[in-house]
Structure 1
Amino acid sequence: MNAMLTATIPLPAILDQPSPMAPGRRHCIENFHLTAASVDRFNALLARLGRRAAPLDCDRLATAARELRDSAAGTGEPACILQRMKRLEAAARMLDDIQWEPVDDAGNVASLMVHYATGRYQLLPNTLPTVGHLDDAIAVEAAWPSLQYEVASFLDFCRVRSMEASLRGRDIGGFNFSRDDWEDARQAEYVLEKQRRCIRESSYLPQLATRFIVH
């Protein structure tokens, strides 16, 4: 399985810690000033996406941003943010693919997440050095438990559709392939792999007759 879907690189742990009793001191990330109202709106979004941890506050966001900035040491966006941006990109591809029909509420959650990350009204400006996409990463983190299986299924759908189109000498764009077709193809792959495993573990040759030895 693609690493972006499995081994998760953690975000700063302070983001999931309870808010301190005393008000935090930090309200700035670089030269950008966080406001309580903007953080409250972001918390409302996270709740809709499925986040169950304590609501965020300015101090913990600023502290997390500083931790990431210090660990990156000028090397660019931290790996934990880059991983979640790849997940966001995969979810956006899923929404844009007219041949894929998300199940349950995955489509709505993905749409809400992508709309936030690509919209004008975000908690942090994307131009902030190193941590401009921290809020996007937190949004992806909140939504991912509801999306992980669906996005993984969609990526496998793309794999199978590409293979089937190639076998038929067709372009993917002009090849009609549905979720039901993908499920049928996956079942056929399962049966074939089961047969191959049986062949590897056994033999079509009859067992040799027991050899008698005369003493």
Structure 2
Amino acid sequence: MSLEINLELTDADLAHFRQLMDAAIAKCERLSDDEIITRARALVSKMENATLPEFVQCRLLSLNALIDAVQDDEWQMPEDEKKEIMTSLAYFSEPEDIVPDNVPVLGYLDDAIMIELVLQNLSLDLKAYREFCGFRATEESRRGEAASVNRESWLAGTRAQIRASMRRSRGSHKRVSFLSRIM
């Protein structure tokens, strides 16, 4: 038997998350991108080794993909996109959060909510990155050894095409900064 629980966050709730994000960003301003990523990866690793509810597990995969996107040299993420993701990751690099992670079932609820808020804003970025990874994997297996010959050329073409599609999608879906979204 399972139980479904739906949460509705009010403007006051979102303001609270905004304060938490602001505090995490302030604490992480002295950290390098590498330190933020290391801390965010540590949280992901800790979560992967915990028994998590399915709603947290689903969001964890997306958080991991965002970290991968920032670190993927072949994706060549533009600086403005990278900065937005790094700002979002600041929360996950902060060990103190609303619900202590060691509380059974609910310990990662606040993390899952924050991941969901981040993903609402970065969904097109994540979709584009996953599309790029899928193309890269398919093309590499199809091309085999010959893949290395013009690899950068076809990766550059794919990146350009995927980013152009993402920009068109953003045009039809007004992009609002994550931080202003939860204000």
Q: What TM-score range do you get, normalising by the shorter chain?
A: 0.5 to 0.7
| Equivalent in the alignment of 1:180 | 156
* CA pair 111-167 structure 1, distance change in 2 beyond 3 A: same
TM-score by structure 2 length? Answer: 0.54
Cα 1:121–1:13 change in 2 (3 A) is: closer
Determine which of 160, 167, 171 is the counterpart of 2:135: 160
Q: CA deviation at 1:150?
A: 0.8
The one of the two structures with greater contact order (alpha-carbon pairs below 8 A, sep at least 6) is 2
Residue 182 of structure 1 aligns to a residue whose secondary structure is: helix
Match of 1:43 in 2: 18
Unaligned runs of at least 5 residues, structure 1: 1-9, 21-38, 49-75, 187-215
Distance, in Å, in 1 between the alignment partners of 2:56 and 2:147 is 31
- Residue of structure 1 in register with 2:6 after alignment: 12
Report the Cα distance in structure 2 between the residues aligned to 1:111 and 1:152, rounded to whole angstroms: 17
Runs in 1 of length 4+ with deviation above 6 angstroms?
171-174
Identity %: 21
CA offset digits 1:138-187 (Å, max 9, x no partner): 2112222221011111011011111222233249999546763214677x
Distance in 1, Cα, partners of 2:132 & 2:69: 10
2:110 is matched with which residue: 129, 135, 141?
Answer: 135
Structure 2 Cα separation of the partners of residues 173 and 77 of structure 1? 40
Letter in 2 for 1:17: T
Over the aligned positions, Cα root-mean-square deviation in angstroms equals: 3.9
Give, in whole Å, the separation in 1 of the partners of 2:7 and 2:84: 24
Q: Which has the higher helix share?
A: 2
Does structure 2 retain, via aligned residues, the 8 Å contact 1:94–1:100? yes
- Report Cα offsets for 1:12-55 as digits up to 9, x if no partner: 324x13559xxxxxxxxxxxxxxxxxx95x5324479xxxxxxx
Change in Cα spacing, 1:181 to 1:44, as seen in structure 2 (3 Å) is same
Q: 1:135 to 1:100 in 2, by over 3 A?
A: same
Would you say the 8 A contact 1:160–1:185 is kept in 2?
no
Q: Quick one: structure 1 residues 164 and 88, their matched pair in 2 at CA, closer, same or farther if it must change by over 3 Å? A: same
Structure-2 separation of matches of 1:131 and 1:181: 44
Structure 1 counterpart of 2:10, one-letter code: Q
| Structure 1 match to 2:125 | 150
Residue 85 (structure 1) aligned to one of 46, 54, 60: 60
What is the number of residues matched between the two proteins?
Answer: 131
The residue type equivalent to 1:111 in the other structure is: M
Letter in 2 for 1:100: W
